[in-house]
Amino acid sequence: MPSLSELVRVHTDLDDEDVRWLHLLLADWQIIADLSFADLVLWLPDQEQRGFWAGAQMRPTTGPTAYVDDVVGSFVPAGRRPLLDTAYSTGRLVREGDPEWRDDVPVRVESIPVRSAGRVIAVVARNTNLMGIRTPSRLELSYLETAADLTQMIAEGSFPSLGQRSDHADSPRVGDGFLRLDGDGAVVYASPNALSVYRRLGLSGDLDGTSLADVTRGLVPPLRRPDEETLSAVLSGRGNRDTEIGAAEVSLIVRSIPLRRGADHVGAVVLVRDVTDLRRRDRELVTKDATIREIHHRVKNNLQTVAALLRLQARRIAEPAARSALEEAVRRVGSIAIVHETLSHSVEGHVDFDDIADRLGAMVTEVSSVGERVRVRRVGSFGRLASDVANALAMVLTELLQNAVEHGYPPLDESTGDRGAGDAEIALTARRAPGRLRLTIDDDGVGLPAGFDPDLSSSLGLSIVRTLVESELGGQLDLGPGLRGRGTRVAVDVPLARD
């Protein structure tokens, strides 16, 4: 379906100011459709005066629609719907005496000129499906009367009105709770839903005849209501505004639209919506996030304790092989702790992995005796990863970086552990493509042992890496000689869920 802006640009002479006005009107016309129990169609004048284009359409949520099909984008030539032509040329509301029959459905049609800055810029057609009209009760009469006030205001150019509106999706609808105020802010009519909302706030009496602002002040403690200026502007119906009001157990959003006739303020529509459940869910989500963060924090602390215990035990062991095995366990536990530490700061279970990779690189070179000589340089970015992927990948990186350090740059002198002077660099390259992450680890060290077959190697480090990459992450692992005939290149390619 074409957008209003598109239709305006292609078919009409309306300018940016006019379009802004029409968008403001559309932001609120659901209220008019609901109050009228009628379909609204916005008709835009053709630039060559050949007729009108349907620019937008709104169905009522309070009654049956008069249009089963969408009409936006359709064209009505001049003369086919005289009501549109008359409303546009005279600038007055036009109503037909007899209903139109459309597919055996009686439809009452009215045309409302849309005035902005003194000019008529479009016409709103209001079509009421008369089959749905019930015997008018006080509610219906109040709705219809208010709808009449608002449509008159559209024709006079005083609706929509500029005002401070927060554009939240929770904006109240007519069905949530409707109040009609008089010019002094006293309630003329409150719908049953509006009364229920006020009952939940603690109201015991009736609302009719009372000052809505006074009643609300009496029910809601000062701490839980907006500043006095906002409160009286909204609840006395003098400002086109909305605000949120909360008592201890109940939260509501209040929206007011002042009604004017010429220059006179004649009253207001006030819509109220109980948003207690929404707000409770908001609060629950916040505490759930905090709990998850706290759990990650504790896991990290526990892992650090485990690492400390293993380190203590390693110091008591004389046998070098057993000792270095324990030291490796310390490192492996440490790399998981780093992920949990990062997760404990994140909200949605996603982490920025660059930070983790850099810390793992630093950890691997610090722990070994090559710290002086070898460093890890990251190229490119991992971006954000889900926590389970991050956990597995952190282990993989720890093992592969450790191998590059340990086996790529072996000690020159076994007895002293001296690895010589000079700079060596391990390049960790990360590349994100949609739904994929590719990374390579390149060292320019001594290279893989002659005849080494990574698929036959049964040592623990590469087994961990292979299991994690292939089974856990569903990816691929490749080990081979470095690019320029020196050192080793390890490539890892994993699929990622697209978000």
Ligand X SMILES: Nc1ncnc2c1ncn2[C@@H]1O[C@H](COP(=O)(O)OP(=O)(O)OP(=O)(O)O)[C@@H](O)[C@H]1O
Interacting residues with ligand X (CB under 6 A): 328, 399, 403-404, 406-408, 443, 445, 447-449, 457, 459-462, 488
Which option in ligand X, Mg ion, none does residue 110 bind, with CB closer than 5 to 8 A by kind?
Answer: none
Beta carbon nearer to ligand X, 368 or 391 = 368
Beta carbon nearer to ligand X, 318 or 456 = 456
Which option in Mg ion, ligand X, none does residue 27 bind, with CB closer than 5 to 8 A by kind?
Answer: none
Pairing of strands 424-433, 374-380: parallel
State how far the Cα of 268 lies from the Cα of 261, in Å rounded to an integer.
Answer: 11
Minimal distance, residue 409 CB to ligand X, in Å: 9
In this structure, are residues 53 and 122 in contact, taking their beta carbons and an 8 Å threshold?
A: no
In this structure, are residues 334 and 361 in contact, taking their beta carbons and an 8 Å threshold?
A: no
Mapped to the 3 state alphabet, what secondary structure does 185-215 carry? Answer: CEEEEECHHHHHHHHHHCCCCCCCCCEHHHH
Which option in ligand X, Mg ion, none does residue 405 bind, with CB closer than 5 to 8 A by kind?
Answer: none
Beta carbon nearer to ligand X, 66 or 462 = 462
Minimal distance, residue 320 CB to ligand X, in Å: 13
| Cα distances (angstroms) measured from residue 9 to each of 15, 43, 55, 485 | 9, 14, 11, 63
Minimal distance, residue 311 CB to ligand X, in Å: 16
Beta carbon nearer to ligand X, 169 or 321 = 321
Q: Which two tokens stand for residue 160?
A: 């929509």
Beta carbon nearer to Mg ion, 57 or 368 = 368
Q: Of all residues in this chain, which one has the CB nearest to Mg ion in the complex?
A: 461
State how far the Cα of 251 lies from the Cα of 335, in Å rounded to an integer.
Answer: 46
State how far the Cα of 187 lies from the Cα of 375, in Å rounded to an integer.
Answer: 75
Beta carbon nearer to ligand X, 112 or 462 = 462
Identify any residues that bridge with 43 across adjacent strands, giving them in sequence order. Answer: 54, 123
Minimal distance, residue 497 CB to Mg ion, in Å: 29
The phi and psi torsions of 176 (rounded to 5 degrees) equal: -70, -30
Q: Of all residues in this chain, which one has the CB nearest to ligand X in the complex?
A: 461
Q: What angle do CA 163, 167, 169 make, to 5 degrees?
A: 145
**Residue recorded with tokens 């015997």:** 135
How far is it between the farthest Cα atoms of the chain? 108
Minimal distance, residue 363 CB to ligand X, in Å: 15
Minimal distance, residue 284 CB to ligand X, in Å: 45
Minimal distance, residue 403 CB to Mg ion, in Å: 4
Which option in ligand X, Mg ion, none does residue 226 bind, with CB closer than 5 to 8 A by kind?
Answer: none
Which option in Mg ion, ligand X, none does residue 448 bind, with CB closer than 5 to 8 A by kind?
Answer: ligand X
Which option in Mg ion, ligand X, none does residue 84 bind, with CB closer than 5 to 8 A by kind?
Answer: none
3-class state of residue 487 by DSSP: coil
Identify any residues that bridge with 385 across adjacent strands, giving them in sequence order. Answer: 351
Beta carbon nearer to ligand X, 141 or 446 = 446
**Where along the sequence are the contacts to Mg ion (CB under 5 A)?**
403, 461
